[in-house]
Structure 1
C-alpha cells in the first residue's frame, strides 16, 4: 500500500507503507511517517495499491486516522471499502482531511468522456492512464482502459468513465500515459470532464492525435492543456471575448495582431469555431474566439491567411500559445501551418509553427 499526501504548498512523493510499520495488531496497523515540512497544512490523502500485480490481491480498508505528533491535532474517517474498487478497476481512494476549525473539501464524482475512433478495439493490449489537474491538486494516474467494460457508448465513439476524487477546483490540464503490449495506433479526438452532479461546466481538452504505440519503447506521455470550458447559458463561456475592460485594466491593455496560416492541402480548411490563448512570461490571456477575420467572412480556408486583432492585459514576452477548435461544422478538420503574433506595444513578432 502507498499513500500520497497533499498540502497547501504541494504534495509528497508516493510513500510506501511496507517499511514504516510501527505497531501492528490483528485489525490495525500504525505507521510512522515523516513528511517534508514544506507541504504546509495537509488537506488530502490518496491511498491504494501501487500496482495490480502486488502480492496483495485485495486490500480491505475500514478506518483511517492521522495525528500530527507536534500539535496532537487528529483526523479520523470511516472508509469501509475494498481495493481494487472493481475487477481491474480503480485502485485508489481519495479523501479530504478536516482539521479542527478548518473547512474541508468534498469528494466528488467526475465523468470523463473519451472521444476516440478505436479505443475499445485496442483496450485489451493498450494501457492508458489519465491524471486530471486542477487548482486543488490532481487525481493521480487513473486507469482508463481497464474500466471500459462499464462504459456507455454514444453515437460518436464516446467512452464514458467515472473518477471519484477530492474536488479539484478549476481544471487546467490532463496528462495521459500510454503503453501497449503490441504495436498499435490509438486515435484520440478529445476529452470532456464534468462533475456528475452538475450539468456545467464541461471542460474540453482537444487532443486530435493518432498515437503510434511501440511495445518495445517506454510510455508515451502527453500533457493536454484545457482548450475551453462550456459553462451554460446563464454564465459566460471561456470562449466569449471580453474586451470591454474598464479603468486600470483598459489602460494596461495590449493589442496583438494574430495571423493564422491554414495549410495548402486537401481538407486543410475548417468550418469549426477556433479559439486561442496566449501565454507570456508575466501572465496568460483569456480565451479568444477567432471569428472576425480582417480579410474574409469565412476564415480558415485552404491555403489562406487570416488576420485577427485582440486586446488583453500585458503578458510580457510570449512563450507559447494554445489554439484549437470545437469540432463543429460540416468540415471540422483543420491543418494549421503556423501562427504569427505581433505585439503592438513592443513591435515584437512571434512565430509558432504547427504543421498538423
Structure 2
C-alpha cells in the first residue's frame, strides 16, 4: 500500500506504508509517514496498491485519518472502497483534503477515448497506462486496457472508452503513455479525446499519429503527448472573443472565414455528430470551431446537402491546411 501527497509546493514520491505503530486496534492500522520536504498546504491524496500482480489480494478501505504530528492538523475521510476497483481494475483512489473556510476540489470521472488501429487485437499481451496532467497535479498511471467501454471497431479504425476517477485536474496540459508488451508487436495510436463524464465540453484532443514498436522484455516505452487543441462547443466563439478582450485586442484583429461543407450523396454519408474544424496557416493555427450553425439548414451535414459556416479567428497567415473531424456521436 502506498500514498502520494499533493500540496501547494509540489507532490511527494510514492510513500510506502511500512512503518506500522504498535498497539493497534482491531481492523485498524496506524503508520508513521515521514516526508523529506515541506509540501505546503495539502490539497489531495492518492492511495493505492504499488502494483497489480496476479497474486494481489483485494483490500477494503473503510476510513482514513491523517494527522500532522507537528501542527496537529487532522483530516478524516470515509472511503468504503475495495482495491483494486472491481469495475475498472484501477489500483488507485483519490480524495481531496478539505480545510476549514477553504473550498476543496471535487472528485470527478474523466472519459478518455482512445482512437487507434490495432490495440484491441493486442490488448491481452499489451500493458498500457496513461497519466493525465493538469493545473491541479496528475492522476498517476492508470490502466487503459483493463475494462473498456463503448468499443467500436471498423476496418483499420477502432476506438474505446476508459473511465478514470480522480480529483479534478483543472485545465489539462498533457498525457504520458507507458507501453510494454509480453511479445513483439506494433501499436498504431491515432489520438486521445479527454473530457469530464458529466460535461459535454470541453473536449481535450491529444494528437498522437504514431506507431509504437514494442519489444518483448524490453523497457517500457514512454510517450509524452501535449494537448493539441480544445473543443469548447457552442461557447467557442465567446471564449475566443473574451480572450481578445482580455488581451486588449479589438474585433478588427479577427479574420472571418467562409467555410462550405459538401456532404456526399452516398448512403450513410450524413452525420448528427458534432463536427469541428481547425485552420492552419503559415503564422499560426486557429482554435477548434464547432460547425453547428449552418446558414442554409437547421440540421447540417445531411446527405447530399451543402452547408455554409462563418467563423472568426485570429490572423493565422496564409492558409495551407485544415483539420476537420467529429466526436462520433449520433448517426
- TM-score where L is the length of structure 1: 0.69
Match of 1:174 in 2: 175
Give the Cα separation in 2 of the matches to 1:278 and 1:74. 53
Query: Is the partner of 1:60 in helix, strand or coil?
Result: strand
Match of 2:151 in 1: 152
Match of 1:273 in 2: 278
Match of 2:201 in 1: 200
Match of 2:85 in 1: 85
Q: 1:26 to 1:292 in 2, by over 3 A?
A: closer
Match of 1:209 in 2: 210
Match of 2:140 in 1: 140
Provide the alpha-carbon RMSD of the alignment.
Answer: 3.2
Match of 1:8 in 2: 8
- Equivalent residue runs for 1:1-356 within 5 Å: 1-17=1-17, 19-23=18-22, 24-53=24-53, 56-86=56-86, 89-148=89-148, 150-153=149-152, 157-236=158-237, 273-275=278-280, 294=318, 299-300=320-321, 326=323, 328=325
Give the Cα separation in 2 of the matches to 1:286 and 1:67. 49
Query: Is the partner of 1:22 in helix, strand or coil?
Result: coil
Shift of 1:21: 0.8
Give the Cα separation in 2 of the matches to 1:292 and 1:82. 51
Give the Cα separation in 1 of the matches to 2:282 and 2:55. 47
Query: Is the partner of 1:30 in helix, strand or coil?
Result: coil
Give the Cα separation in 1 of the matches to 2:31 and 2:94. 18
Give the Cα separation in 2 of the matches to 1:220 and 1:138. 19
- TM-score where L is the length of structure 2: 0.74
Query: Is the partner of 1:146 in helix, strand or coil?
Result: coil
Q: 1:277 to 1:98 in 2, by over 3 A?
A: farther
Any unmatched runs of 5+ in structure 2?
254-276, 289-312, 327-331
Query: Is the partner of 2:122 in helix, strand or coil?
Result: coil
Query: Is the partner of 2:46 in helix, strand or coil?
Result: strand
Contact map agreement 1:277 1:286 (CA 8 A) in 2: no
Query: Is the partner of 1:79 in helix, strand or coil?
Result: strand
Provide, for residues 196-255 of structure 1, a one-character-per-residue CA deviation record: whole Å limited to 9, x for no partner. Answer: 1111101000000111111132111010000111111124488x59995688779xx9xx
Shift of 1:327: 5.1
Shift of 1:276: 8.3
Any unmatched runs of 5+ in structure 1?
254-271, 280-284, 301-324, 330-356
